[in-house]
A and B are shown apart, each in its own frame.
Chain A
Amino acid sequence: GAVVSQHPSWVICKSGTSVKIECRSLDFQATTMFWYRQFPKQSLMLMATSNEGSKATYEQGVEKDKFLINHASLTLSTLTVTSAHPEDSSFYICSAGPLLTGSYEQYFGPGTRLTVT
């Protein structure tokens, strides 16, 4: 159980366009979803914390107008990279948790590889 999916798994887009990444918890509901970014050979860095029905909380240095997060339900969060540039090329991973059952474990999606040309 506790599966998180991300769609798409990889995407290539042109500079200046926008890309939407979906994060879904398939068999559970979570109060919070997190978005991370990972550059090559670096660890995951938290971008933002998203609670259903609330505005996301962004980490310092992450532009909220560039990385739009919508958390429509307890099973779905989306990250939209607006006006993408090559430096936005990265591996984006989401996680969901805590569960409504009270477990604090985080469940991670498989990631989305974004390449901006």
Chain B
Amino acid sequence: KQEVTQIPAALSVPEGENLVLNCSFTDSAIYNLQWFRQDPGKGLTSLLLIQSSQREQTSGRLNASLDKSSGRSTLYIAASQPGDSATYLCALYNNDMRFGAGTRLTVKP
């Protein structure tokens, strides 16, 4: 059974810093990996989707990488802003979707 771990559980950084969120998984037999953002009390916003055959995806200040051989994915956020404050979830899909526990990010002005 797929196990997804996200480190750190919480992160607080000053505005403008570049940061990396980590996601590790135990089963590399996946179709894709998605990074989501969740604001308190809200649903999920999909940030980036990496197909199994891909190594990375970029969208604006976000860059996500996927290394299936090591069971790792990272989400890189450049020039962080207070509006980036949220919980970030990674999830892997292989017939069903398994989520990590999330990283709660706070960007201080």
Contact = CB atoms under 8 A, between A and B. Distances in A.
Interface string A96-110: 010000001111111
Interface residues of B, number: 22
Nearest to A111: B43
A14 to B, nearest CB: 22
Contact of A93 (B31, B44, B100): B44
A54 interface: no
B93 A106 contact: yes
Interface of B: 31-32, 34, 36, 41-44, 46, 49, 51, 89, 91, 93, 95-102
Given A44-B91, A105-B34, A113-B41, 15 more contacts: A43-B89, A43-B101, A43-B102, A45-B99, A49-B95, A49-B96, A91-B41, A93-B44, A104-B32, A105-B93, A106-B97, A108-B43, A109-B43, A110-B43, A111-B43
